[in-house]
Amino acid sequence: MLNAFIRRTRNVAALTATALLLLTAIGNDHSWREATPGYDYSFPRDHGSHPNYKIEWWYYTGNLRAADGRRFGYQLTFFRSGINLRPASKSRWAVRDLFIAHFAVSDLDHDQFYFFEKLNRAGVSWAGVDADGSRIWNDGWEASVTSDAHVLHAEGKDVKLDLRLVQRKAPVIHGSDGVSQKGSQEGNASHYYSLTRLDSAGTIKLKGKRFDVKGTSWMDHEFGTSFLEEDDVGWDWLYVQLEDNRELMLFVIRRKDGNVSPHSSGTLIDPSGRTRGLSATEFTLRPVEKWASLSSGATYPVHWEIVVPGERLKLTVEAAMNDQELRTTESTGLAYWEGSTHAKGIWGDEKIKGVGYLEMTGYTGRSMASVFR
């Protein structure tokens, strides 16, 4: 009886939470802290939560290979969306934040994509972040952060992921003076860092078969309160991990008039971890080929050309599998594309190649500005 009651309560909570998310995401409670210049990062502290900011996420993505050569991509993402900074009720059932999680595995050699999602309030430890940032969880899925690794666990129907990620480079801070600026107003920004090279090992279980896997992962952690401007439609974001131990991250914010926001930017990371920031005028990200989703009606560019003239860098990035669209009907109600990619090109006089991940939002007709403002 008790278990049945809890399940019913959680179902109602999820429906209520979805409604609250849609209602509150459009408005902006200005008592939430804004991301402003001068933020002083400290690790491992900043791996944890920043509850005074309205929006926060922890993104783990990576490319893995089994002993027999079979290739996989994966995504495990934890979102925190602030609903009420100071709830009037002191009850543990009061909704201060919503916690959303997305988990996906791409079985690249068999053209199969598996996606799962969760939505919870903190409740009785249904979801949350430990005070010291050592664990982020949502209903059985979790990322545990220790002094020497990030340990991931998630599972859904016929799919289970267990990985240990070991950091090989120092955190990379994106933007300038502690902020990644997303718009013309000072607070329209985020605090944003990445772990760009994580040696990854563990297991994937798929339909009863276990695969011991190894590869590389990337972790993004971003927090702020206002991310996009009213005329922003969505964004295209990617990273590439090159075989020579260099990395590249780029994001382009698309506007309603078809132009690119001047606040688009990127970061180059050399083998030693030194960085070079890229402004919107220092690179181009051009779509080459597209794929149409029969499920959402969206058409996504799945083949891109990157040019960074100042670095004599030309790179093509292609989806390792076309259908890596996440349709989040049980959490945010949005559809977006996020999946494994492979890259090749020329940097100076050298031929280069690597792997990465690509995310594309705002292609279904609903502006992302209504969600992230």
The answer to whether residues 81 and 97 touch, using CB atoms and an 8 Å cutoff, is yes
The answer to whether residues 190 and 223 touch, using CB atoms and an 8 Å cutoff, is yes
Q: Specify the pLDDT at position 131.
A: 77
For 130-162, the pLDDT digits (tens) are 878 899 999 999 999 988 899 999 999 999 999
| CA pair distance 117, 197, nearest whole angstrom | 26
For 197-210, the pLDDT digits (tens) are 999 999 999 999 99
pLDDT at 59 over 90: yes
Beta bridge partners of 354: 242, 343
Q: With CA atoms as reference, report the closest residue to 172 among 235, 102, 237, 222.
A: 222
The answer to whether residues 238 and 81 touch, using CB atoms and an 8 Å cutoff, is no
Q: What's the mean pLDDT in 11-23?
A: 43
The total of structural domains in the chain comes to 1
For 264-277, the pLDDT digits (tens) are 999 999 999 999 99
What average pLDDT is seen over the chain? 89
Q: Are strands 275-279 and 265-269 parallel, antiparallel or unpaired?
A: antiparallel
Phi, psi (degrees; rounded to nearest 5) at 104: -145, 145
Q: Specify the pLDDT at position 372.
A: 57
Q: Specify the pLDDT at position 21.
A: 44
Q: Specify the pLDDT at position 227.
A: 81
Rounded to two decimals, the pTM is 0.90
**Residue 195 belongs to a domain with what CATH number?**
2.40.370.10
| CA pair distance 90, 87, nearest whole angstrom | 7
With bands split at pLDDT 50, 70 and 90, how would you rate the model's confidence at 2? very low
Q: Which of 22-31, 60-69, 95-104, 363-372 has the lowest mean pLDDT?
A: 22-31
- What is the domain range of residue 168? 2-370
